[in-house]
Structure 1
Amino acid sequence: MSEETKKAAYRFDTQKVRAGYEPKDHKYAVSPPIYQTASYDFRDVENAKNLFSFKEQGFLYTRVGNPTVAVLEERVRVLEGAAAAIGVASGMAAISYTLLNLAEGGGRILTSPFLYGGSADSFKKIYPKFGIHFDIAKNLEHPEKLGEEIWPDTKAIYIESISNPNTVLLDLDAISKVAHEHGIPVVVDNTVATPYLYHPFAHGADIVVYSATKGLSGHGNLIAGLILESGTFDYKTEKFPQFSEKYYTLRDESGTYRSFPEVFPEAPFTARIRFNYLNYFGAALSPFDAYLSIVGLETLSERLSKQSENAHKLALYLSSNEKVEWVRYPALEESPYHQLYKRDFEKGAGGLLSFGFKGNEKQKEAFLNAIELFHYHVNIGDARSLIVNSPQTTHGELDDQEKAAADIPENLIRISAGLEDSDDLIADLEQAFQKAFSIN
């Protein structure tokens, strides 16, 4: 067995600590070094020629590639089972580069109503100015009818694997089948689930995006994003003419212009993002933030397991609380997504849940102000437990009609379970409920 074959056979928990890094290639440093450099010396003129003609792999300039960032990219690529990965400066950069790459020159994206508020707001506010329009799918939960919503200029379907904040689960296998019948890729934001809980590529996805700020890194101390591709979707079709464009900058040694699929046949999507969008729009992931993300990844399984366990215990407590109107968490048997959870999420449903506060607005504010152990802010996936009134904060960009479509009532409170003792978290919620409902 070759060394590469042996490494590929390692299981998830080994790969999250070891993939993408060889100490012998970095002065035998046990922890990946932070390559805090803007540029890199060429060995000689021949090396420079080879790098610029893509005959040889290496590093030119940290805006388009950096050794520390490359370790993160390769590690997540292996964990996700992707053909290639690219790190960028934020989750929103990952989303925007992906959608611009797909719908360059104009087109439509069929998307879910169950999305992070910032994503939804950007879809209506920014992209139409670039000729890209979004259709909110009505049949995502009835994929057999989804084809009726795909138009000739629809370039992709965009969904979240576990939605924020309602933890909606969708049948990605069925959605992907319909998308591929119509010649379009499926983009999945896998931020909440992470590759520990869910592998979108195994269910038919073509592109996966991450806010690595959240569960992937897990400590609330960096901003980062990732884009990964399956390597199986054919972009050399009339629907995606931009991928067949031949560029002077991709010319071979004889000067022949080439396209991205010709130069990067196994990963044309992320290569095109790296050398077009990342190169010229410039949302580069810093080496230091990449390093922090690498360190965070080393405990991904342990964190997500404990967070899923804590979230489930919190959901059960809230379900039996008379001051709570409803609870949304797929691991609960009464969840409409429980069967999909049992089929696709054998390791847990993640740390995100939401509930309906049964009191009035004044009592809800008193409840949030009384919280002592939870942190009150807008991040998710942190080692610390977080709580927030999503309709007024993370999804405050949505108008009443959009909130209704996304099933986000004004009394929704979102929890991102951390790593504390679940009994302490429950006790904190209990004392906050008592204080809130002591107010008339």
Structure 2
Amino acid sequence: MLVTFIAFEAMAVGTAMPTAVAELDGMAWYGWPFSAFLVASVVGMVTGGDVGDRRGPRVALPWGVGVFAAGLVTAGLAGSMAVFVAGRAVQGLGAGVMVVLIYVIAGQAYPPALRPRLFGAISTAWVLPALIGPVVSGLVTTHATWRLVFLGLVPLIAVGLLLVLSAGRQLAAPEDPAPSPPGRRWWAVLAGLGIAALQYAGQRLDAVAVGVAAVGLVALVAGLRPLLPAGTAWARRGLPAVVASRGLLAGAFFGMDALLPLTLTSVHGYSATAAGIPLTAGALGWAAASNLQGRRPDLRRERLLRVGFALLAVGLAGTALAAVPALDGWPAYVSWAVAGLGMGLGMPSVGVLLLDQSPEHRRGADSAALQISDVTASALCVGLAGVLVAAATAGLLSLPGAVVGAIAAFTVIAVVGALVAPRAAAPAVAPGAAPHTTTLAAS
């Protein structure tokens, strides 16, 4: 339930945002609620990982849920744009804490044989919000008020928390927690601001954008280095390759997922409903493959991850045909379902590999690194798509050319992921060495 409602908020808020911003007289601030949520969520991921490692998920999860609910109430009752942006930031903080602690609970409460099915269920929990979230949000906003998109979730979030806590009464706090490295939350703030700066730069095509992008890139790199396992950028074997694989999957898929409806509406004249059907096909493919892999816990996860990347690359390459005006966009209905199958195999496998290789006292920090890799890569790839679309809008290239260029970049990312996937297996442990020794040294 918690995952479903986090996903609903992520999928639905974009539909309600134009009405909310117009009512609060904040069109000039339109991008701020999204950026505030994103920056705060990175901080929340680091905070949730640290608190989960020190005090355990049973203690930390209520705080995350409480903060998320407080953000929903603040945004839903906001009388000004400044308060609304603050509410979105509080939501992001709580959501970041929650998504990391769900991984910590998965590692503590579920044996390895059940984790593939668990991560399949978690992936499926994103499907229903993807299918109906924007529609429900639009109906509520049109026929009632946009405020219910936020306030209506509060009692449902409370029910989800009660179910998790009642089922997890036996979850123990860590016996000998390791102290958190100092300054991790400030590094998270720096990384989040770097992402926001790069997104802002991508909306401009002038000299200012170059300077903002340079500053944002420096801030992002500096902030990520203490937060990700050493060797993540080079996909070093073991945990760094697992974290890198999550970013490659998310970046390639969500970069195109954001661009596909625009392609179908602008190049082929599709209605908003028709343009959303390929996204639905991708979500259904994701759910089907997630449940399929959950039935085979005996499969080697790094091999399954490689198959997932290969399917994603095929789906992306096939989607390039949707940018050809003469084909009327129909290939996207099939190709994006194939890409969804790849994600359904790849995403749960990454979660299983992480928990298999992360020692219990670092599970929160490592889960936070996984989520940060996801958010960062997604934001950068969506930003790349935005830059290309802005260039097309400015007449520097055609829109089909911009789409094909973005697809080429995302397909290369998926191919790189297929090459990296075998390195996500746990490093070999020397005879007589303690388990996780190699992984800890790498991270």
Where on the TM-score scale, by shorter chain, does this alignment land: which range? under 0.3
The structure whose residues are more often strand, as a share, is 1
TM-score normalised by the chain length of structure 2:
0.27
Higher relative contact order (CA 8 A, sep 6+): 2
